Every structure is written in structure tokens, then in C-alpha cells.
């Protein structure tokens, strides 16, 4: 059995929770290095972790209290209703994450802390991107960082 960092377990839990939404379906990818093909992968979601801060827990010196930013990017083809499409993706993602703040028991709590919308060119086609930042609080044992406390 391969041990994975608690951070990976959180990312995997977010991917699992977001797979099968009405708009994005199974098009959920767990790295931002994935190159989405507009014809095949849109609308779609990309999930990755970005910044994390950690400090020794006040409750137990053997535990780290961690704050992790999980980024969920929704991608949609640009057309006259692209902002509506991005808002629909956002709504579906926010509803699922709001109903599952413990992220399948990998987190102590989580909350949406930012939303950004931008437009980019991917290959030939312009695309719309909505970027949600989920701030996740979790704890690990300082001697075993694969286990979420």
C-alpha cells in the first residue's frame, strides 16, 4: 500500500465529489498540467492544490494545523452565453462543496474564499475560465503526514 500525503487525499476527495456534475460530467482532471482539448474536454474542471501554510497545533505539539488552497478551475467555450455557462459550473461546484465541507472526512473544514473569471486562448479557440479557491483546514501528525487527523 502506497502512502500518499494528506494533501493528495484532499485533492482526490475534491475530484471524486466533483465528478458527475450535470455540466462538466466526468471531465474532471487533477492537474493543471492537463491540456484541455476544447472539442473533447469542455466544459470541464481542473483541480489542483496551490499554497499551504502549516504550524504546530495549539492543542497537540505533535500535530500540524494546515491551511491549504484547493483551486477548482471550470473551463467553457467562449460564446455569447459563456458567462452563464461559467456561473452554472460555479453553482454546481459550490453546491457540492458546500454540502460536503469535510471533503469526505479528509478535512476539518473548508470554505470558498475567492472566485475569479478570466478569458484565455487555448489553441485556436477562446475559452472562459472560472477559478474557485477553496480554503481547507486539516491536521496531520508531525511524524505521519499521510494521515488526516
Three-state secondary structure string covering the chain: CCCCCHHHHHHHHHHHHHCCECCCECCEECCCCCCCCHHHHCCEEEEEEEEEEEEECCCCCCEEEEEEEEEEEEEEECCCCHHHHHHHHHHHHHHHHHHCCCCCCCCCEEEEEEEEEEEEEECCEEEEEEEEEEEEEEEEECCEEEEEC
Give the pLDDT confidence of 46-58 residue by residue, as tens digits. 999 999 999 998 8
Alpha-carbon span 137 to 109, nearest angstrom: 5
Q: What is the pLDDT of residue 33?
A: 67
Express each pLDDT in 17-38 by its tens digit.
Answer: 999 999 999 999 998 766 777 7
What is the predicted pLDDT for the residue at 84?
96
Q: What is the pLDDT of residue 76?
A: 94
Mean pLDDT of 137-148: 85
Average pLDDT, the chain: 91
- Residue 10, burial from CB neighbour count under 10 angstroms (0-12, 13-18, 19+): buried
The three-class DSSP label of residue 81 is: coil
* 52, three cell numbers: 499551504
The C-alpha cell of 44 is what? 470541464
Separation between Cα atoms, residue 129 and residue 138, nearest integer Å: 28
Please write the tens of the pLDDT for every residue from 85-130. Answer: 999 999 999 999 999 999 999 999 999 999 999 998 766 778 999 9
Calpha distance 33→112 (Å, rounded):
23
Provide the 8-state DSSP code for 101.
T
Amino acid at each position: 500500500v502506497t502512502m500518499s500525503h494528506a494533501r493528495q487525499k484532499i485533492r482526490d476527495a475534491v475530484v471524486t465529489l466533483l465528478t458527475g456534475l450535470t455540466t462538466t460530467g466526468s471531465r474532471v482532471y487533477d492537474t493543471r498540467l492537463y491540456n484541455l482539448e476544447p472539442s473533447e474536454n469542455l466544459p470541464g474542471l481542473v483541480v489542483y492544490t496551490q499554497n499551504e501554510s502549516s504550524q504546530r497545533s495549539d492543542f497537540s505539539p505533535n500535530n500540524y494545523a494546515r491551511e491549504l488552497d484547493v483551486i477548482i478551475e471550470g473551463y467553457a467555450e467562449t460564446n455569447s452565453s459563456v458567462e452563464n455557462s461559467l456561473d452554472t459550473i460555479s453553482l454546481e461546484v459550490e453546491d457540492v462543496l458546500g454540502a460536503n465541507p469535510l471533503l469526505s472526512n479528509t478535512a476539518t473544514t473548508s470554505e470558498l474564499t475567492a472566485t475569479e473569471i478570466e478569458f484565455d486562448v487555448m489553441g485556436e479557440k477562446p475559452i472562459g475560465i472560472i477559478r474557485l479557491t477553496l480554503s481547507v483546514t486539516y491536521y496531520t501528525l508531525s511524524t505521519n503526514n499521510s494521515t488526516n487527523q
